[in-house]
A and B are shown apart, each in its own frame.
Chain A
Amino acid sequence: MNVIVEKADLTLKYIAHYNDLKELLFKGSSDIINVRRKKAFQDFVSQGIPTRKNENYKYTNLHPQFAPDYKFVIQREETDANLTEIFKCNVPQINTHLNLLYNGWFYDKNVKSGVLPQGVILDSLENMAKNNPELLQKYYGNTAETESDALVALNTAFAKDGYFLFVPKNVIFEKPIQIINLLKSENDTFTTQRNLIIVEPGASAQLILCDHTLNSNRYFSNSVTEIFVEENANLDYYTVQNQHNNSASVNSVFIQQERNSNVTTHTVSLHGGFIRNNLKIKINGENAEANMFGMAFLDKSQHIDNATQVIHAKPHCQSNQIYKYVLDDKSTGAFSGRIHVARDAQKTNAFQRNNNLLLTDTATMQTKPQLIIDADDVKCSHGATVGQIDEEALFYLRARGIDEDKARMMMMNAFAHEVVQQIKVEALRERIDELIEKRLNGEIALCHECDYNCEC
């Protein structure tokens, strides 16, 4: 009984936060955001913070992460330090349009790195709401349902800012946009980041997102990103997660794709205490393709849970998923992947695989594929493996004079290789390769060159 009361208390605490901060939350935000906010709050109240009885959060216990007394960031914070100066991206040769977020807010002193093509907008959500209310009205909250996930509801209830990216019709640009969210605070902090991406018909963009904790306070980041990829448009969306062991992150991404569009997501979880990634892709037009790749490296008592959902709503589309985990010590991992092929979505090709490498007997992995197929002419497959390093292969390498540690490393790299090689931005791919090697070597995957140990 006691436990249940406690859990309810935790939800009540966040309800109280909302009520305390209500005035500030509504103030300065667009009506469009505030209308959604009101409803989202009601949705949060009625759902409460999910427990493990909730099928969607079966493998991930959110409650301990919600327990600390966090400070909420509901106003744009001034920082005396020049973040652009402090933060020097350390990917050699990577040539990106670099922009920073600061505790989930678009950093207002961002230095422009190169000129964006005509018509491309990269700005704060707050500014966008002022300058492009018609786009906000059309897209905001369109896919991120607040009724079915309390974390999305909580984000929408507290949402003030994040980034907005708009790529107009037929604009194709090669140079990736890189957005780095820096977490830095004097207190344990709860951040709410709300992003919106619109890639118009025929347009194409690459986006690299990095997370970085700049000091050792506890962080909870609850972010929601809505992405709309229109007809004949392309988006490559890379997420590199690199936070310290005391941080928690729930990262929900909703993508809607139209006809002939192509989306590739890469979620590389190098480091983080507690990570839950929700990725939901709705394929809403014919001949579209979605590729979803993920890698996770865990040790100590880290927890990483990737929950994917692909909805094939239209025929002749293809989706591919490969997620790979390497788990050490007593870390815990989870993967659940749902593929839903709607009745009209004939000739669907949907493929999913989750491979996991356990380095110890104490690490655990839960994997749950789920196929819901309402059409009859489809090709769907899923597979999952949980295994240890192949001892025969290890012996083979050692028998050729390769030290055990090095041989293990080669095997682990080999395991990740299949996913790494799918990264199309070469400098990023090489960097990730290097970071993985460092990570697997037990070195922190953070860079040493920069004062704040940040990495991207």
Chain B
Amino acid sequence: MLSIKNLYVSVEGQEILKGINLEVKAGEVHAIMGPNGSGKSTLANVLAGKEEYEVTAGEITYFDEDLLEKSPEDRAKEGIFLSFQYPVEIPGVPMVNFLKTAVNEHRKHKGEKELTAGEFLKLMREKMDMVDMHPQLTNRSVNEGFSGGEKKKNEIFQMALLEPKLAVLDETDSGLDIDALKTVAHGVNMLKSNVNATIIVTHYQRLLDYIVPDFVHVLYNGKIVKSAGKNLLLSWRKKATTGLKKKTKIKNECYC
């Protein structure tokens, strides 16, 4: 599905990703871990098509097509979904308008009939239940006045509506209490299938207690320094207090 080869990325002339390689196949869940500032969000944003990140070398193919050529909106319509680490507030753009437009843009792209207002509301209610999102939130502007946790839930809610092929969850677990974390994990697990894939970006391990990845990669200083199956996590926990942690001076809860 996704193939990243020897990817180098700079922001404002500063090199951040330094030769990333990653293969993701349908049905897989990948976890990318690493300390703050190691380049995880950069990778996630490059996948979504953020323009300020400059790809200086390497390539990304998505379903055998050059991903880097495509606009953010085309990537989204072709099934890439980024759950933002910091979802932005957009005062004046009503949630319902935004969601309906997004859903219908996806449907048009797939050659499906656009949903009417009534059909959309029905779909929205269904998905809202699934992620336990408070109905009142859809009466507001996009993310406006949402708490940190509500913003993250809203990301998963959008994911549920758009049913992506490749979901990239950037620190969707941070700022969530245990209950919210469980709902988010539940949502992700529900949407998991053998035709889609998920990349979970995190620098905590908490979410991985609820979503079991097939592969774990450690990103450090712009490079993937270690990749392994899910067993890595277990062995890692033990070593967590020594090794990498010392070098990178990360706060307690972090296991990498």
Which residues on A are within 8 Å of B, measured CB to CB? 390, 392-393, 395-404, 406-407, 410-411, 413-418
Q: Which residues of A contact B142 (CB under 8 A)?
A: 396
Contact A414 B102 (CB under 8 A): no
Q: Which of B73, B87, B89, B93 contacts A401 (CB 8 A)?
A: B73
| A401 and B49 contacting across the interface, CB-CB below 8 Å | no
- Contact between chains at B73 and A402 (CB < 8 Å): yes
B50 an interface residue at 8 Å Cβ cutoff? yes
Chain B residues near A392 (CB, 8 Å)?
A: 88
User: 16 more A-B contacts (CB under 8 A) besides A396-B142, A397-B98, A399-B75?
Assistant: A390-B88, A393-B88, A395-B51, A396-B84, A396-B90, A397-B90, A398-B73, A399-B76, A399-B82, A400-B105, A401-B106, A401-B162, A403-B105, A406-B105, A410-B101, A414-B90
> Judging by beta carbons under 8 Å apart, are A406 and B101 in contact?
yes
Q: Is the CB of A418 within 8 A of B105?
A: no
Name, among B89, B92, B101, the residue most crowded by chain A CB atoms within 10 Å (CB to CB). B92
Most chain B beta carbons < 10 A, residue from A398, A401, A406, A413? A401
- Is B109 an interface residue when CB atoms closer than 8 A count as contact? yes
Which of B70-86 touch A at CB < 8 Å? 71-73, 75-77, 82, 84
The list of the 3 closest CB pairs from A to B, nearest first, reads A414-B92, A401-B76, A400-B102
Q: How far is the CB of A11 from chain B (nearest CB, A)?
A: 45
- B87-122 near A? 1/0 per residue, CB < 8 Å: 111111100011001100110010000000000000
**Residues of A contacting B: mostly:** helix
Contacts of A398 in B (CB 8 A): 49, 71-73, 76
Do residues A411 and B90 form an inter-chain contact, with CB atoms below 8 A?
Answer: yes
> Which B residues lie within 8 Å of A413 (CB)?
92-93
| Chain A neighbourhood of B48, CB < 8 A | 395, 399
Report Cα–Cα, A400/B142, bound state, in Å. Answer: 12
List chain B residues, Cβ under 8 A from A399.
48-49, 72-73, 75-76, 82, 84
Asked whether any CB of chain A lies closer than 8 Å to the CB of B158, the reply is: yes
Measured CB to CB, the closest approach of chain B to A399, in angstroms, equals 5
Checking A403, A404, A407, A418 against B92 with a beta-carbon cut-off of 8 angstroms, the contacting residue is: A418
- Distance of A403 Cα from B50 Cα, bound (Å): 14
Contacts of A415 in B (CB 8 A): 92
Q: Which of A395, A404, A406 has its CB near the most chain B CB atoms (within 10 A)? A: A395
Chain B 45-82 near chain A by CB (<8 Å), digits 1 or 0: 00011110000000000000000000111011100001
Q: Which residues of B contact A404 (CB under 8 A)?
A: 71, 73
Q: Which of A390, A399, A403, A415 has the most CB of B within 10 A?
A: A399
Interface flag for B141 (CB, 8 Å): yes
Q: In the complex, A279→B90 CA distance in Å?
A: 32
Q: Which of A396, A414, A416, A418 contacts B88 (CB 8 A)?
A: A396
Q: Can you offer 14 A-B residue contacts whose CB atoms are under 8 A?
A: A393-B93, A396-B90, A397-B102, A399-B48, A399-B75, A399-B76, A400-B98, A400-B105, A400-B162, A401-B102, A401-B162, A404-B71, A411-B90, A414-B92
A441 to chain B, nearest CB (A): 15
B76 touches A400 (CB 8 A): yes
Task: Determine the distance from Cα of A402 to Cα of B109 in the docked complex, in whole angstroms.
Answer: 11
| Contact indicator B92/A402 (Cβ below 8 Å) | no
Measured between alpha carbons, how far is A403 from B106 in the docked complex, in Å? Answer: 11
Contact of B141 among A397, A406, A414 (CB under 8 A): A414
Inside 8 A of B97's CB, which chain A residues have their CB? 410
**Do residues B109 and A401 form an inter-chain contact, with CB atoms below 8 A?**
yes
Are B76 and A414 in touch, CB under 8 angstroms? no
How far apart sit A406 and B102, CA to CA, in the bound complex (Å)?
11
The interface residues of chain A lying within 8 Å CB-to-CB of B141 are: 414
Please report the C-alpha to C-alpha distance between residue A259 and residue B21 in the assembled complex, in whole angstroms: 74
Rounded to whole Å, the gap between the CB of B98 and the closest CB of chain A is 7
Q: Which residue of A lies closest to B86 (CB)?
A: A392
Report which of A393, A395, A402 forms a contact with B105, defined as CB distance below 8 A: A402
Smallest CB–CB gap between A319 and chain B, Å?
23
In the bound complex, do residue B77 and residue A401 qualify as a contact, i.e. CB atoms below 8 Å apart? yes
CA distance A164 to B246 in the complex (A): 82
Determine how close the nearest CB of chain A comes to the CB of B85; give it in whole angstroms.
12
Which chain B residues numbered 153 to 212 have a C-beta less than 8 Å away from chain A?
Answer: 158, 162
| Complex CA distance for A413 and B88, rounded to whole angstroms | 17
Bound-state Cα–Cα, A415 to B91, Å: 8
- Across the interface, which residues of B come within 8 angstroms of A397, CB to CB? 90, 93, 98, 102
Contact of B93 with A411 in the complex, beta carbons under 8 Å: yes
Closest to B87 in A: A396
User: Given the complex of chains A and B, what is the CA–CA distance between A77 and B97 in angstroms?
Assistant: 49
The residues of A that contact B106 with a CB separation of less than 8 Å are 401
List the B residue with the shortest CB-CB distance to A418: B92
Query: Would you give the shortest CB distance from B218 to chain A, in whole angstroms?
Result: 26
> Which residues of chain A are within 8 angstroms of B101 by Cβ–Cβ distance?
402, 406, 410
Residues of A within 8 A of B89 (CB): 393
Smallest Cβ distance from B86 to chain A, in angstroms? 9
Say whether B92 contacts A417, CB under 8 Å: yes
B102's nearest neighbour on chain A, judged by CB, is A400
Residue of A nearest to B158 (CB): A400
Q: Note all chain B residues with C-beta closer than 8 A to A418.
A: 92
Known contacts: A396-B87, A399-B48. The answer to whether A410 contacts B98 by CB under 8 A is yes
- Could you tell me if B72 and A393 are in contact, using CB atoms closer than 8 angstroms? no
Residue of B nearest to A398 (CB): B72
Give every chain A residue within 8 A of B49 (Cβ-Cβ). Answer: 398-399
A407–B102 Cα gap in the complex (Å)? 10
Scan B19-55; emit 1 where CB is below 8 A from any A CB, else 0: 0000000000000000000000000000011110000
Least Cβ distance of A353 to chain B in Å?
Answer: 13
Residues of B within 8 A of A402 (CB): 73, 98, 101-102, 105
Residue of A nearest to B109 (CB): A401
Q: In the complex the two chains form, is B73's CB within 8 Å of A414's CB?
A: no
B101 to chain A, nearest CB (A): 6
- Inter-chain CA distance A397–B90, complex, in Å, is 9
A399 to B97, CA, bound (A): 15
Residues of A near B88 (CB, < 8 A) are: 390, 392-393, 396
Contact A414 B93 (CB under 8 A): yes
